[in-house]
Structure 1
Amino acid sequence: MAWLNGLGATDARAFLARAVRLDAGAVVRLRSAGDDRVTLWSHLPWGVLVSRAVPGHVDGDHTVLARELLTALDGDLPTLRDSEWRWSIPGDPGAVVERIPAADIRRVGEAAADTLRTAAAEGVGGRAVGSRVLRDALLDHVPIVVTTATGERVEIPQRLVQAAVRMGFTMSDRAAARDFVDVRKSGPWTALACAYGSAWHRAAKTLLIG
């Protein structure tokens, strides 16, 4: 019996194709979201979890290779690889602490990409800098800070912005009627919840199984 409702094929394909493009060996975890929906989770190479809910049904949690699932959307799940999932997942969707125009998120992401290209080509302060050093510094940069009603500062690192942009979650689409992004907090997790999926980051350096 196929796990995916045919109505969700386009959304699932878009999510999986981008995950594979960013990491050919990416695994994806399928978890029931209730109401005949399945949430797809994947871990990007720069330490951010991404998720998208699609119509479908699974019993329990299952982990498979993203590229294998991408070629088998109309059939059963491919070979299970549950032992290869090594990251915790937020326990709930969290509370919205701020709403930001999606255009602002796209702008911040594009500016970072331009900065990286310029620095790689011209160096920084006239000095050549390794591409990995540039990338890591860029991902650690905090371009957005919001403050909750209780006065807590919530930092949105560039790695979270890049995840949302590069997974296509912030694409402008009038049909979606939602060109904004919610900043959410769930315990130690911070999320950018967009029209086409969510990106999650945990401040701790190591994401433990949970």
Structure 2
Amino acid sequence: MSWLDPASVPDAGAYLARLVRLDAAALVRLRPAGAGALALWARLPFEVLVTRQVAADLAGDVTVRAADLLRAFDADSAELPVRYDSQWLWPLPPGAGRVVERLPVAEVHRIGAAAATTLREAAAEGVRGRAVGERALREALLDHVPVVVTADDGSRVEVPQRLVQAVVRMGFLGPDPAVGDVRVRTAGGWVGLAGEYGTGWYRPSRGLQVRRTDERSVTSS
């Protein structure tokens, strides 16, 4: 890959491999992010955009299939795969936005693991003794809001489980599950979770819920 810095090949490869495991047909958008930098963007099946920045020199904004690009990496090909620019249909957040809170990495891991356990138990035992389809359970869990942040300006920001799952399953939180923090960001109507290796973004269809409060707080469940 002549356009990608050799030092960034492992980072880009890890991003693509995790993406393909979640969605074999996923598209990845390669978007210049300043001198010598490239942002990789993709949309997960649960409606979250995930992005990771790597060192690269690519002049254009290009969309390809993640699986095709991963195969090109494995073959050490210098050529980009077939382009699918017209199939990228999703808007991007308007910049990095602002940080409104920092959460311990360990807490984000705990929230993600608790949801996975709940899904397994509900699929096996039902909910209150009643069988529920796994897809319905998954959607209900993804919509659940385990973290609510009240920023300094009084705006109330909801962090849904789908964002937590995105950063956990993409490996964005870093190598040590007990060290570091995860930043809650807002940009326009988008909510983001930014870990050491990348950021997940979600835009609720109703937009950010904003409520004036007298103090800054964080709650999680």
> The TM-score by the shorter chain falls in which range?
over 0.9
SS at match of 1:42: strand
Structure 1 residue 198 and structure 2 residue 186: aligned? no
Residue pair 1:172, 1:179 contacting (<8 A) in 2 also = no
Listed as ranges, the gaps of 5+ residues in structure 2 are: 208-221
Distance 1:101 1:44 in 2: 24
Distance 1:90 1:156 in 2: 16
Q: Which residue of 2 aligns with 1:57?
A: 57
Equivalent residue for 1:92, pick from 79, 95, 120: 95
1:156-195 superposed matches below 5 A: 156-173=159-176, 179-195=180-196
TM-fit CA distance, 1:58: 1.2
Distance 2:32 2:176 in 1: 27
TM-fit CA distance, 1:45: 0.4
TM-fit CA distance, 1:148: 0.8
TM-fit CA distance, 1:2: 2.0
SS at match of 1:199: strand
Equivalent residue for 1:109, pick from 104, 108, 112: 112
1:113-128 superposed matches below 5 A: 113-128=116-131
Structure 1 residue 131 and structure 2 residue 134: aligned? yes
TM-fit CA distance, 1:72: 1.4
Q: Which residue of 2 aligns with 1:10?
A: 10
Amino acid at match of 2:133: G
Amino acid at match of 1:101: P
Distance 1:129 1:108 in 2: 22
TM-score of the superposed pair, with normalisation by structure 2? 0.89
Kindly report structure 1 stretches of 4+ aligned residues shifted beyond 2 Å: 171-174
TM-fit CA distance, 1:205: 7.2
Q: Which residue of 2 aligns with 1:143?
A: 146
Residue pair 1:2, 1:77 contacting (<8 A) in 2 also = no
Structure 1 residue 38 and structure 2 residue 41: aligned? no
Distance 1:22 1:101 in 2: 25
SS at match of 2:72: coil
SS at match of 2:33: strand
Residue pair 1:48, 1:160 contacting (<8 A) in 2 also = yes
Distance 1:188 1:145 in 2: 15
Question: Percent same amino acid at aligned positions?
Answer: 56
1:180-206 superposed Cα distances (whole Å, 9 cap, x missing partner) = 100000001110010011000001279
Amino acid at match of 2:195: C
Amino acid at match of 2:185: R
Distance 2:48 2:83 in 1: 22
The count of residues paired between Structure 1 and Structure 2 equals: 204
Q: Which residue of 2 aligns with 1:29?
A: 29
TM-score of the superposed pair, with normalisation by structure 1? 0.93
SS at match of 1:50: strand
Distance 2:87 2:163 in 1: 23
